[in-house]
């Protein structure tokens, strides 16, 4: 059987692609943001698995920063979603095409 | 039995013990609350319901309440979102019940040569687990408020969860000086470090070393459990019953249970972090064991000391639970904007300044 | 297979199932709640990989703060459930999906001696470098590294959080008193 961190890398890859499919196939902006969060968590899992394999702690420190940056991105993204909803009453990605010719 | 098996069985027993203890608390607190509020309001309170012709000062009232709530008809609103309506009370009660496990209620006992720490589980993350628990507890209220599909409950749920997440910040920041002082997050180590003396006379309790932290934690403790003076979200006069309006019978009992158990856990935290936990002030456990060993032998002396320590902890927790009830029936409640102002404009800056000052003082003390 | 590996496998599969649930739900609240469940499972996995600090921070920050903001926005905006089109993919999207799966397998495995193995031997097995307390808790080591080697990044990230707070408030404010509600 594979060791724990190797299993972690496999799960990380699966989660990353689940998140990617979520972004590709969903139109709702909030659903896309949730899928981005899944991708970030997949990256976190990969960092922590790598930190366990190489027996260093740097991976976990990077995870701390990734979580902090994800928080900022979620806050700003949701603020923009609220602003868009007020302006256009719709948050489907297909309806936001004001700049298209 | 191998050491691993002994520790495993001991862990399971300890966790079950914590669970059973937490479940007994709401039953007792209901009676205490009603009698004490009656005393404050100069009346008598429930004193008739007892068992088999014995009045028992009305202690049977809790049992009667539970039976009533169990048999009441459950009336979910037709337009409720079924899954979250069902999930809200479960999260609130379940999260609260799992929080007592990290509180140490004794030092250690010896079973078949194995040292068993009297702490349900010993996490590497220590008391950060409590912050995690209160973060997850927000979901119970939010989902319950939204799932009932009604204006009052949504408003009450939003208000309650906004209040909880605001005061969570001040709670977390106010615990940082504790980490400076004790250098660890493990609660058992913190209790053991409170057995000395400051200036030779005063017991080295956390409250004397981090008083501002204690005050801030006490205030945020009331806000986290939605108790007066911070209970706008569930107050009877404001929003019908807030987020649990549409949750009747056993669901309401589960919310009630979650609230009282959270009170119990937070009171236990205050007692552990700031008041010495299971240690008696001038008579530490090691001395107690040393004095009991000639009479009872080592193993029984440890058990006796553990039982005494547990009761000391319960006395300290009881003091803070009574304080909860006294504060509830004494103070008026905050208006919502006053509440948020206290949380963001007053408590967070004070706790940040507290961290800075504690760090400076600690650095100075360490370099002397 | 011992208990640790078994629980890691169960938690990992649960996480993947919850994230697939997340991207296939019509109602945003269901998606957010399943994401919270996925985060809690992930935190447990971090704990099994002995990254205790990351596990606790994941629950406190990710599951307990970020997702609460998501849930608030979803509930307050009262977003309607949307239509899914998983059954009606264009050929281009199907191709991308297939390429994605192949890439996932290719990124994580390699063929050695005719058998498929997970890529982990490319990673150097480093020595834990100072400051590192060998017999100490995970938190102490993370803190030691965070405040010595990564101090600059720490300060920059805290400034970033401040900017994000101000930005979120400014962006989400109602604009202009002169706009009449229609």
User: Which of B132, B165, B185 is nearest residue C59 as measured by Cβ atoms?
Assistant: B132
Report, as an integer, the average pLDDT of A72-98: 83
Structure tokens at C159: 């400034």
Q: How far apart are CA B342 and CA B215, in angstroms?
A: 14
Provide the number of CB pairs (under 8 Å) joining chain A to chain C.
Answer: 222
- Is A88 an interface residue toward C (CB < 8 Å)? no
- Is C76 an interface residue toward B (CB < 8 Å)? yes
- Is C139 an interface residue toward A (CB < 8 Å)? no
- Is A32 an interface residue toward C (CB < 8 Å)? no
- Is C20 an interface residue toward A (CB < 8 Å)? yes
CB-based contact C108 A13, cutoff 8 Å: yes
The predicted-structure confidence for A90-99, as pLDDT tens digits, reads as follows 777 777 777 7
In angstroms, what separates the C-alpha of C94 from chain A's closest C-alpha? Answer: 10
Q: Are B345 and B166 in contact (CB under 8 A)?
A: no
User: Which of A33, A55, A74 is nearest residue C125 as measured by Cβ atoms?
Assistant: A55
Count of C-beta atoms within a 10 Å radius of residue B138: 28
- Is A96 an interface residue toward C (CB < 8 Å)? no
ipTM (interface pTM)? 0.90
Comparison of pLDDT for B42 and A55, the residue scoring more: B42
Q: How far is it between the farthest Cα atoms of chain C? A: 73
Residues of B with Cβ-Cβ distance to C56 under 8 angstroms: 125, 128-129, 131-132
User: Which of A61, A76, A81 is nearest residue C164 as measured by Cβ atoms?
Assistant: A76
What are the E-state strand segments in C32-125? 109-112, 115-118
Q: What is the pLDDT of residue B239?
A: 55
The chains in contact with chain A, meaning 3 or more Cβ pairs closer than 8 Å, are C
Q: Are B23 and B34 in contact (CB under 8 A)?
A: no
- Is B237 an interface residue toward C (CB < 8 Å)? no
Q: What is the pLDDT of residue A95?
A: 72
DSSP letters, B305-352, are HHHHHHHHHHHHHHHHHHHHHHHHTTSPPPPHHHHHHIIIIIIHHHHH
Q: What is the pLDDT of residue C182?
A: 53
- Is A84 an interface residue toward C (CB < 8 Å)? no
| Contacts of the segment B353-362: beta carbons below 8 A, 24+ positions apart | B354/B173, B354/B174, B354/B177, B354/B212, B354/B213, B354/B216, B355/B173, B355/B176, B355/B177, B358/B176, B358/B177, B358/B180, B358/B181, B358/B210, B358/B213, B359/B177, B359/B180, B362/B177, B362/B180, B362/B181
The predicted-structure confidence for A30-51, as pLDDT tens digits, reads as follows 999 999 999 999 999 999 998 8
Give the DSSP H or E segment for B202: strand B202-203
Q: Give strand pairing partners of B116.
A: B109
Substitution target in C44, C137, C140, C169 with the highest count of B β-carbons within 10 Å is: C137
Instruction: Spell out the per-residue pLDDT of chain B, length 368, in tens.
Output: 788 888 888 889 999 999 999 999 988 898 888 889 899 999 888 877 777 777 777 788 888 888 888 888 877 777 778 888 888 889 989 988 988 888 998 888 888 777 888 888 888 888 899 999 989 999 988 888 888 877 778 888 888 889 999 999 999 999 999 998 888 888 988 998 888 888 777 888 888 889 999 999 999 999 888 887 887 776 655 556 667 677 777 888 888 889 899 999 999 999 999 998 888 888 888 888 888 888 888 888 888 888 999 999 999 999 999 999 999 889 888 888 888 999 999 999 999 999 999 999 999 988 87
Q: How far apart are CA A8 and CA C53, in angstroms?
A: 17
CB-based contact C157 A37, cutoff 8 Å: no
Q: Which residue of C has its CA nearest to B88?
A: C33
CB-based contact C171 A8, cutoff 8 Å: no
In angstroms, what separates the C-alpha of C112 from chain A's closest C-alpha? Answer: 15
Residues of C with Cβ-Cβ distance to B172 under 8 angstroms: 60
Residues of C with Cβ-Cβ distance to B127 under 8 angstroms: none
Substitution target in A71, A85, A90, A94 with the highest count of C β-carbons within 10 Å is: A71
Residues of B with Cβ-Cβ distance to C59 under 8 angstroms: 132, 135-136
Structure tokens at A37: 């969060």
* Residues found in chain B: 368
Q: Is A88 helix (H, G, I), strand (E, B) or coil?
A: helix
Cα-to-chain-centroid distance, residue B192: 20
Q: Are A90 and A23 in contact (CB under 8 A)?
A: no
Residues of A with Cβ-Cβ distance to C141 under 8 angstroms: 57
* Residues found in chain A: 101
Q: What is the pLDDT of residue C85?
A: 65
Name which of B264, B263, B300, B104 is nearest B195 in CA terms: B104
In angstroms, what separates the C-alpha of B183 from chain C's closest C-alpha? Answer: 9
- Is C29 an interface residue toward A (CB < 8 Å)? no
Q: Give strand pairing partners of C117.
A: C110
Residues of A with Cβ-Cβ distance to C42 under 8 angstroms: 41, 44-45
Residue with tokens 């409640």: B333
Q: Are B134 and B200 in contact (CB under 8 A)?
A: no
Q: Which residues of chain C have pLDDT under 70?
A: 83-89, 111-136, 176-182
Q: Which residue of C has its CA nearest to A31?
A: C28
**Torsion B63-B67-B68-B69 (CA) sign:** positive
Q: What is the pLDDT of residue C78?
A: 80
Substitution target in B5, B8, B81, B136 with the highest count of C β-carbons within 10 Å is: B136
- Is A90 an interface residue toward C (CB < 8 Å)? no
- CB burial of residue B186 (10 Å; 0-12, 13-18, 19+): buried
* Residues found in chain C: 182
């Amino acid at each position: 059987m594979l060791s724990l961190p190797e299993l972690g890398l496999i799960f990380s890859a699966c989660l990353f692609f689940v998140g990617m499919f979520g972004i590709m196939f969903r139109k709702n902006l909030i659903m896309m943001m949730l899928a981005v969060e899944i991708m970030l968590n997949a990256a976190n899992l990969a960092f922590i698995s790598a930190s366990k394999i190489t027996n260093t702690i740097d991976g976990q420190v990077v995870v701390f920063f990734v979580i902090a940056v994800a928080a900022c991105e979620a806050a700003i993204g949701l603020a923009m979603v609220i602003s868009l909803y007020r302006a256009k009453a719709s948050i489907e990605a297909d309806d936001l095409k004001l700049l298209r010719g | 039995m191998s050491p691993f098996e002994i520790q495993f069985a001991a862990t399971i027993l300890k966790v079950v013990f914590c669970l059973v203890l937490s479940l007994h608390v709401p039953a007792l607190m209901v009676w205490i609350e009603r009698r004490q509020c009656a005393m404050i309001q100069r009346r008598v309170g429930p004193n008739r319901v007892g068992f088999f012709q014995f009045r028992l000062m009305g202690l049977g009232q809790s049992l009667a309440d539970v039976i009533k709530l169990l048999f009441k008809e459950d009336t979910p609103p037709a337009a409720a979102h079924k899954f979250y309506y069902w999930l809200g009370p479960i999260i609130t009660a379940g999260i609260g019940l799992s929080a007592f496990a990290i509180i140490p209620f004794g030092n250690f006992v010896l079973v078949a040569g194995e040292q068993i720490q009297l702490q349900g589980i010993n996490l590497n993350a220590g008391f950060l687990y409590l912050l995690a628990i209160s973060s997850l507890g927000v979901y119970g209220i939010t989902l319950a408020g939204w799932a009932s599909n009604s204006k009052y409950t949504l408003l009450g749920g939003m208000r309650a969860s906004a209040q909880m997440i605001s005061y969570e910040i001040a709670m977390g920041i106010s615990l940082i000086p504790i980490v400076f002082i004790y250098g660890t997050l493990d609660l058992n180590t913190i209790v053991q470090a409170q057995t000395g003396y400051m200036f030779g006379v005063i017991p080295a309790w956390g409250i004397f070393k981090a008083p501002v932290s204690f005050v801030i934690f006490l205030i945020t403790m009331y806000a986290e459990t939605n108790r007066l003076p911070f209970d706008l979200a569930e107050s009877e006069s404001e929003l019908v019953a807030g987020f649990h309006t549409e949750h009747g019978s056993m669901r309401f009992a589960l919310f009630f249970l979650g609230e009282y158990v959270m009170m119990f856990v937070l009171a236990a935290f205050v007692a552990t972090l700031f008041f010495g936990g299971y240690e008696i002030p001038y008579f530490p456990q090691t001395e107690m064991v040393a004095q009991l060993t000639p009479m009872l032998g080592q193993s029984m002396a440890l058990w006796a000391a553990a039982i005494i320590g547990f009761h000391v902890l319960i006395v300290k927790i009881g003091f803070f639970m009574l304080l909860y009830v006294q504060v509830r029936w004494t103070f008026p409640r905050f208006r919502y904007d006053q509440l948020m102002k206290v949380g963001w404009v007053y408590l967070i800056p004070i706790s940040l300044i507290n961290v800075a000052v504690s760090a400076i003082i600690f650095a100075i003390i360490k370099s002397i | 297979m011992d208990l640790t590996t078994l629980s890691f496998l169960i938690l990992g599969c649960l996480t993947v199932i919850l994230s697939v649930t997340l991207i296939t739900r019509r109602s945003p609240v269901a998606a957010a709640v399943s994401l919270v469940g996925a985060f809690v499972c992930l935190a447990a996995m971090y704990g099994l990989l002995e990254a205790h600090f990351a596990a606790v921070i994941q629950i406190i920050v990710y599951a307990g703060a970020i997702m609460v903001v998501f849930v608030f926005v979803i509930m307050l905006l009262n977003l309607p459930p949307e239509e899914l089109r998983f059954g009606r993919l264009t050929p281009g999207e199907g191709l991308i999906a297939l390429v994605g799966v192949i890439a996932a397998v290719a990124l994580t495995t390699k063929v050695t001696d005719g058998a498929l193995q997970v890529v982990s031997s490319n990673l150097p097995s480093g020595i834990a470098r100072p400051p590192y307390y060998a017999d100490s808790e995970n938190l102490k080591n993370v803190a030691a590294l965070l405040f010595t080697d990564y101090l600059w990044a720490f300060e920059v990230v805290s400034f970033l959080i401040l900017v994000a707070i101000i930005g979120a408030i400014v962006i989400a404010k109602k604009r202009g008193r002169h706009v009449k509600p229609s």
